[in-house]
Amino acid sequence: MSPNIKYRLGKSGAFKGLVIFFSVLCTIPLMLILFYIIREGITKINWNFLTNLPKPVGETGGGILNALVGSLLIVFYAALIAIPFGIMGGIYLSENKKSLLGYWVRLSVDVLQGTPSIVVGIVIYFWIVKPLGTFSALSGSIALAVMMLPIIVRSTEETLKMLPSSLKEAGLALGLPYHKVMLRIVLPCGFSGVLSGIILAVARIAGETAPLLFTAFGNPYFTTDVTKPMQSLPLLIFNYATSPYDEWHDLAWGAAFILLSWILLLNIITKITTRRWKIQF
C-alpha cells in the first residue's frame, strides 16, 4: 500500500472513531440526569409523601398530594379538550389534501407547533384568566390543550393518510353514510396510530411548566375545583427547586422522580403501540 492510501484510510478510521466518541459521549449527560433524579428521588418516596400536603417551612415531612391530583386533573381536562378537536382536524386534513383551507390549517398547525410554550401561557392569560379575574386550573388545561392540538392533528392526519383508500371506498360502496365510514371504519382502523399520537401529546405536555405559570399558577392547598388556582408537579418542582429551603428541595426531588417515571411510562406505552401499528401494515 502506498503511504497516500494509508493516510486516507487512517483519516477515515479517525473520523469513524470521532463519530463513535461523540455519540457515546452524548448519552452520558442523560445517564447522569436519570441516575441523579432516581438516586435523590427514590429515597423521598413513601406513603406520607404521596398522601400529605406540603408542610410549612421548618417542619419535616409533608407530601405532594395536591400536586399529584392537580397534575392529573389539569392534564385530563387538557386531553378532553384537545382530543376531539385534534382528531376532527386530523380527519379534515387527511380528507382535504389539496384544498385552500387545508393548506392554511396545516400552516397554522405548524405555527402552533413552533410556538414557545411561554407565549401560549401569555395568550391564554389574556383569553381566560383576565376575563374571569382569577388564575384557574381550567385556563391551565386550555393552555396545555393548545400545545397538544398540533401533535394530535398531525399524528391523526399521518395515520389516516397511510390507510389504503380501498377501505373507505368499500364502505361508501356499501351505501354507508360518510360520517359512519369515517368514524366507524377508517378511524378504528387507524386507532393505534391515533392513540399513540394522543399518548405522545400527553407525554409532551405532562412536564410543561411555562404555560402553567400564568394560568394554573400553583396552590399550596388541596383543591379539585377547576375554577381555582391549582398546583401541578412541574410547577411544584420549579417553585420548590428555586426556593432556599432544604425540606422543599426534598419535596421537589421526589416530585421530579414521580414526574420522570410517569413520562417514561407514557413514552414506553407510545413505543409499544407504534410498534404494533407498524406490524399491522
Partner 1 sequence: MEVWKNIKIKRSFRQIRMEKIFRSSLVLIALSILVMVFAFMLTLIIQSLPSIKALGFGFLYGKTWDPVANIYGTYPFLLGTLLTSFLALLISIPFSFSIAIFLGEYYPRGWFSEFLKNAIELIAAVPSVIYGFWGLFVLVPIVRSIELKMGITPYGIGIFTSSLILAIMIIPYAASLGREMIRMVPAELKEAAYSLGATRWEVIRMVIIPYSKSGLFAGVLLSLGRALGETMAVTMVIGNTSIIPKSIFDPGNTMASVIANEFTEAASTLYLSSLIELGLILFLVTVVINIIGKKVISRFTQ
**What residues numbered 48-67 form the site for partner 1, per CB under 8 A?**
none
Task: Tell me if 116 contacts partner 1 by CB under 8 A.
Answer: yes
Task: Tell me if 46 contacts partner 1 by CB under 8 A.
Answer: no
Selected from 46, 113, 134, 227, the binder of partner 1 by CB under 8 A is 113
Task: Tell me if 248 contacts partner 1 by CB under 8 A.
Answer: no
Closest by CA to 67, choosing from 231, 251, 253, is 231
d(CA 155, CA 160): 9
Q: Decide whether 66 or 117 has the Cβ nearer to partner 1.
A: 117
Residues 212-241 that bind partner 1 (CB under 8 A): 213-214, 217, 234, 237-238, 241
Task: Tell me if 117 contacts partner 1 by CB under 8 A.
Answer: yes
Q: Decide whether 18 or 51 has the Cβ nearer to partner 1.
A: 18
Selected from 163, 207, 226, 261, the binder of partner 1 by CB under 8 A is 207
The residues pairing with 230 across neighbouring beta strands, listed in sequence order, are 217
Task: Tell me if 80 contacts partner 1 by CB under 8 A.
Answer: no
- Closest approach, Cβ 128 to partner 1, in A, equals 11
| 3-class DSSP assignment, residue 109 | helix
- Closest approach, Cβ 4 to partner 1, in A, equals 11
Task: Tell me if 36 contacts partner 1 by CB under 8 A.
Answer: yes
Selected from 50, 57, 107, 162, the binder of partner 1 by CB under 8 A is 107
Looking at beta carbons, which pairs linking 107-114 to residues 24 or more positions away fall under 8 Å?
Answer: 109/149, 109/150, 109/153, 109/154, 110/150, 112/146, 112/147, 112/149, 112/150, 113/150, 113/151, 113/154
Q: For 230, which DSSP code?
A: B
| 3-class DSSP assignment, residue 166 | helix
d(CA 89, CA 50): 38
- Closest approach, Cβ 233 to partner 1, in A, equals 9
- Closest approach, Cβ 52 to partner 1, in A, equals 21
Number of neighbouring beta carbons within 10 Å of residue 279: 7
- Residue 72, class by beta-carbon neighbours within 10 Å (0-12 exposed, 13-18 middle, 19+ buried)? middle
Selected from 37, 38, 185, 269, the binder of partner 1 by CB under 8 A is 37
